[in-house]
Amino acid sequence: MSSSNFLIVSLALLLVIALSFIPNFASASVKEETALLKWKASLQIPNNSQLLSSWTPLPMNSSAMAPCSWFGISCNADGNIYRLNLTSSKLKGTLNQFPFSILHDVTDFNLSVNNFFGRIPPEIGLLSKLVYLNLSDNQFSGVIPPEISQLVNLVELGLSKNLLEGSIPPTIVNQFEKSIPNTE
């Protein structure tokens, strides 16, 4: 093969690879958007709150990316959500409809200082990339799900000021101790 043919073949191959990513990219965010809107619909949001007013579907022709441009949401370079920060947003509701199985790239999850109630669903264990989880200052009740020990990357956990029973699984506590420098 001459070098110019090789170049053309390489470029064509690159194009095919690049194009193959586009539909995945779009469908990932549409899936996240749909799932989060379903969760939002289950919440009681104060009438005067503007906080989640950005949480609406964007028109198809919009160049902005929903849900990456929504309040409290940050996306990585692949267009997947890695941070959800809805602290102090006066939100009331449960995590029962929260799309744990879809938001698998989330590393930072902050729901502290709201009025969330009910159980912490065992599906929390599906957020396997979580580094930071703060559910403090809500009305979560019931036992802390043992599945929380599946969060092997977790470095900071806030569960205080809730109505939770039981204790944090010891495996997770060990993990924090390991992550704190200068303790040995």
> Which residues lie near ligand NAG (CB under 6 A)?
47, 59, 61-62, 85, 87-88, 108, 110, 112-113, 132, 134, 136-137, 156, 158
- Supply the minimum distance, in Å, between the C-beta of residue 136 and ligand NAG: 4
- Supply the minimum distance, in Å, between the C-beta of residue 108 and ligand NAG: 6
Beta carbons of 168 and 157 less than 8 angstroms apart: yes
**Cβ closest to ligand NAG, residue 85 vs residue 97:** 85
Q: Kindly list the distances between the CA atom of residue 142 and the CA atoms of 39, 100, 121, in Å, as whole numbers in the listed order.
A: 21, 19, 10
DSSP string of 131-162, one letter each residue: SEEE--SSEEEEEPPGGGGG-TT--EEE--SS
- Supply the minimum distance, in Å, between the C-beta of residue 62 and ligand NAG: 5
Cα 58 to Cα 121: distance, rounded to the nearest angstrom: 30
- Supply the minimum distance, in Å, between the C-beta of residue 7 and ligand NAG: 37
Cα 53 to Cα 91: distance, rounded to the nearest angstrom: 13
**Cβ closest to ligand NAG, residue 35 vs residue 84:** 84
**Cβ closest to ligand NAG, residue 87 vs residue 94:** 87
Cα 142 to Cα 119: distance, rounded to the nearest angstrom: 6
What phi and psi, each to the nearest 5 degrees, are found at residue 14? -60, -40
**Cβ closest to ligand NAG, residue 19 vs residue 180:** 180
**Cβ closest to ligand NAG, residue 145 vs residue 158:** 158
- Supply the minimum distance, in Å, between the C-beta of residue 131 and ligand NAG: 9
